[in-house]
Structure 1
Amino acid sequence: MIFIIIAIFLIISCIENKLIYLICKEMKPSLSNSIIVYLTSIITSLLIYNKYEITLDSISYFLLIPFIVVISIIDFRTSFVYDITVVSGIIVQSVVFILSKIPLEELVDHCEGLIIGLLLSFFMCKLTKAIGEGDIGFYGLCCFVLGAKHSLNVFALSFLLTSIFGILIILKQNRINLKVRVPFTPFISMATILIMLTQYDIIKIYFKMINNNL
């Protein structure tokens, strides 16, 4: 089964690699992009299979991988998120949930996740300017897949990862440059993948650590 998954995601990765340049025509094909696409897609899919085997969750996660890889690479290279990629991802996940006939409470949980992801990121974008408008839909997509129970964890972990990256930049440059824009979708993707693979409640762990230190 593992070899089948590798073969499938080799094909999917090839398609992803071509879609990146079809969607964003200003980008030029590069070896580094191809390496990221193939390694991220194949390794993540194998880790997901190792944890869940073939279940509804793993199928949903498998189908999310191509979208987060394509969206993250385009945003990292161009600082732009195309609506078509986000909307397509939400449509694909909706079809999976409908066809699988999941229990109503689970479907509601995913829909609540979508709403939380969209609304919270919208207010953060408009009130704090901490994220870009393209990140709104991407948060919605990732929270839709993970459900309401992990929606806040996606936000918390993505900001934590971004902060760590920002500290590394400051240490490397030996100065603080507020004009530097950090593409956010790669960190949302990493947060989503980590939560998919661990199912950890990051916020619960954080408050538990605080209480233990008090």
Structure 2
Amino acid sequence: MIYLTIAIIFMILSYISEKIIYRLDNCMDKNLTNKILIFLPNMIIPILIYTKYELSIQTISYMALIPFLTVVSIIDFRTTYVYDITILSGIIMQSVIFLLNKQLSEGSMSHIKGLFIGVVLSYILAKATKSLGDGDIGFYGLCAFVLGQEYSLYMIFLSFMLASIYGGYILLRKRKSIKSSIPFTPFISLATILIILTQKDIINLYFDILSRNL
């Protein structure tokens, strides 16, 4: 019953997300691919989150983040633009969720530090490498705010690793110039989702494979 309830709630949220996307960017084509990219993650990932964490404030926080990841990533992927209102709305919603947590005093500092790490480190990377835009900095802040201090650095590292894999694919398969820009928020979203669902299992597996080959 709980899975059906989650599916219905996020079907409604997917519909709202779709309306928001086309309201923010009315030039974007309304096609089947976009609909799949909106509805599929919004309906499947929250169920996976509930399966892993069951019902808790953390579960609600992670679930509430998914529609924002979807909206920001799709708009950025299609237009290479990130709207500040989506980032700010996500931070406000997450702040409200954290305020509902009875253990606020114990866990709030980790999330505040995560926000600080996400914004400051991504800002430094943006200025040093010219690989990130202002919207990416805010989006890193939102995702790091939700994940907390423990996973912030890991999320930034994993997002760059995923982006580099995609960049390599573009170079090898599509024969585009290395100077071609790619939208970065989809990789931040994917890294965040992977961490939510696996925590540090991926990086542990990576270093385990490296140690075996040495």
Establish whether TM, by shorter chain, passes 0.5.
yes
Amino acid across the alignment from 1:48: I
Q: Which runs of 5+ in 2 are unaligned?
A: none
Report the secondary structure of 2:157's partner residue. Answer: helix
Are 2:180 and 1:184 aligned? no
Per the alignment, residue 21 of structure 1 pairs with: 22
Are 2:53 and 1:86 aligned? no
Mapped to 1, the partners of 2:195 and 2:27 lie a distance apart of: 33
Report the secondary structure of 2:92's partner residue. Answer: helix
The 5-angstrom pairing of residues 101-140 of structure 1 reads 101-140=102-141
Are 2:199 and 1:199 aligned? yes
Q: CA deviation at 1:213?
A: 5.2
Is residue 153–residue 201 contact of structure 1 (8 Å, CA) maintained in 2? no
Q: Which runs of 5+ in 1 are unaligned?
A: none
Root-mean-square deviation (Å): 1.7
Is residue 86–residue 138 contact of structure 1 (8 Å, CA) maintained in 2? yes
Mapped to 2, the partners of 1:180 and 1:102 lie a distance apart of: 46
Per the alignment, residue 169 of structure 1 pairs with: 170
Is residue 98–residue 104 contact of structure 2 (8 Å, CA) maintained in 1? no
Segment of structure 1 superposing worse, 15-24 or 99-108? 99-108
Relative to structure 1, is the Cα distance of residues 201 and 146 closer, same or farther in structure 2, using a 3 angstrom cutoff?
farther
Per the alignment, residue 155 of structure 1 pairs with: 156
Q: CA deviation at 1:28?
A: 2.8
Length-normalised TM-score, structure 1: 0.93
Runs (4 or more) in structure 1 with deviation over 4 Å come to 201-214
Length-normalised TM-score, structure 2: 0.93
Q: CA deviation at 1:61?
A: 0.6
Mapped to 1, the partners of 2:88 and 2:38 lie a distance apart of: 21
Report the secondary structure of 1:179's partner residue. Answer: coil
The share of aligned pairs that are identical, in percent, is 52
**Number of residues of Structure 1 aligned to a counterpart in Structure 2:** 213
Per the alignment, residue 31 of structure 2 pairs with: 30
Amino acid across the alignment from 2:17: E
